[in-house]
Structure 1
Amino acid sequence: MKTIKQHARGMIAVLMASVVLVGCASKPMVQQNQVEIAPDTLVTLPTPAQLGYSLTASQLITATWQKQSHQLPVQLQVDPKRVALAGFSSWGTRILSLDYQDQHIDTYVMPGLGATLPDPKQVLFNIMITLWPMDAWQAPLEQVGWQLKQTHNHRQLIDSKGDIIADIDYKNSDPLKGDITFINHQQHYTIGIKTLQSSQHESGK
């Protein structure tokens, strides 16, 4: 266990600084289906059903910050009622997980690593902002004055001041068939999302 904890602390040091979009300001009260995307700015997550299809995927998240890169293997499952997410160490030990359904999010982090692991809700946000369709994000972001704009194989996350917070680039028009690069300009980090394996089908089938 000690070896796993030591590895996780080193691996997640970058993810702590990079996956989270917010700084160290005091946090407002957060509802179960909300994520803090900037100090005192909460966004309501789209529903699982708004993805538009059911999905099972194995992904590799690579976070780069201050010239350091670390990886987090992730298993993702989505159906119309539920999103399940699990992150693992390089040895295959589950170190964090999340279950999102009925507008409620349950999270788990390995005991003893709560202060070093990223918030699973922030990992979920980064995956959802890249995979869920534009219309699923329009209303939640408009509520806080933010925007998500899209051109060919590219998205931009823009805050209420008109500043570009993040650029998201897709190597393929199908985000599950090519690498995704998420660049946060305010926090100066880059996240790479590589889908290693996936299967999907229309919801309800």
Structure 2
Amino acid sequence: MKLSTLTKVLSVLVLNILMVACASSLKLSTPTVQIAGGKTVHLPSPSSYNYDLTASQLIEATWVEDDTVKSSQLPVQLQVTGDKLVLAAFSSWGTRILSVTYQGDSISTNVMPGLSGALPPPEQVLFNLMITIWPRSAWEESLSNVRWKMNENDDGRAIFDENGRKVINIQYKSHPKLDGDIVFHHLVNDYTIVIKTLQHQKTSKL
């Protein structure tokens, strides 16, 4: 996600300029997403999470604009059931502004009319969440295909590009991961996302 795009997203949320939608725009795509450096990776399958999951989360983004630190929040709902994933994001008034459904080998998205140019691609929102909580093993093949790699320890994860440069740093404040804040820092675009899981229910698929 480029910083300019992130700024547009958060400005929309802060100003609460959302209107009641008459209809939503729908797009079908393959489960791929662009990451820093112009690389495109294939998202892991929903089933590779190895659990059924329902979670209510609050995403707080912080960035610097004109030498001023700014921030805003975005409530989201995440559900993973079998081979299907559904993610929905809401305005501060409770209006759904975007949603994404990932099942099989396709992603369908709905974005509130008039916001498609202001909001980031829903696949990018999905990537930010999946790179933080999906198992490292689920990401190995996708990252390896673009010569990127993920290192992981008890405190978090670090994502490196093909030149060995750290691109993303992720910190877990608790274990299990969803029991505490998750801090996602994009080192190239210089923004930070804190994922707060307000409540969740997780059931093993085994």
TM over 0.5: yes
* Contact 1:65-1:188 at 8 Å conserved across structures: yes
Structure 2 vs 1, CA of residues 97 and 116 (structure 1 numbering), >3 Å: closer, same or farther?
Answer: same
Shift of residue 163 of structure 1? Answer: 0.1
Shift of 1:39: 4.0
Structure-2 separation of matches of 1:9 and 1:190: 16
Cα distance in 2, alignment partners of residues 202 and 122 from structure 1:
26
Which of 136, 146, 150 does residue 134 from structure 1 map onto? 136
Q: Which residue of 2 aligns with 1:18?
A: none
TM-fit CA distance, 1:12? 7.2
Distance change in 2, residues 1:12/1:87 (3 Å): farther
CA distance in 2 between counterparts of 1:12 and 1:52 reads: 36
Question: 2:178 matched to which residue of 1?
Answer: 176
**Alignment of 1:46 onto 2:44:** yes
> Shift of the alpha carbon at 1:9?
4.4
Give secondary structure in 2 for the equivalent of 1:160.
coil
1:200 aligns with 2:198: no
How many angstroms apart in 2 are the aligned matches of 1:148 and 1:97?
27
**TM-score of the aligned structures, taking structure 2 as reference length:** 0.84
Q: Which residue number corresponds to residue 22 of structure 2?
A: none
**Cα 1:8–1:91 shift into 2, 3 Å:** farther
Match of 2:106 in 1: 104
Cα distance change, pair 76–12 in 1 and its aligned pair in 2 (3 A)? farther
Verify the 8 A CA contact 1:12 1:117 in the aligned structure 2.
no
Residue from 61, 64, 67 that aligns with 2:62: 64
Runs of 4+ displaced beyond 6 Å: none
Matched letter for residue 42 of structure 2: T
SS in 2 for 1:176: helix
Unpaired runs of 5+ residues, structure 2, are 1-8, 16-28
- Give the % identical residues: 47
Q: 1:37 aligns with which of 30, 35, 38?
A: 35
Instruction: Give the aligned residue type for 2:90.
Output: F
RMSD: 1.8
8 Å contact kept, 2:150–2:159: yes
Distance of 1:193 and 1:137 partners within structure 2: 20
Displacement of 1:84: 0.1
Quickly say closer, same or farther: Cα 1:12–1:52, change in 2 above 3 A.
farther
Deviations 1:82-129 (A, max 9, x none): 010000000100000000001100011100111111211101001000
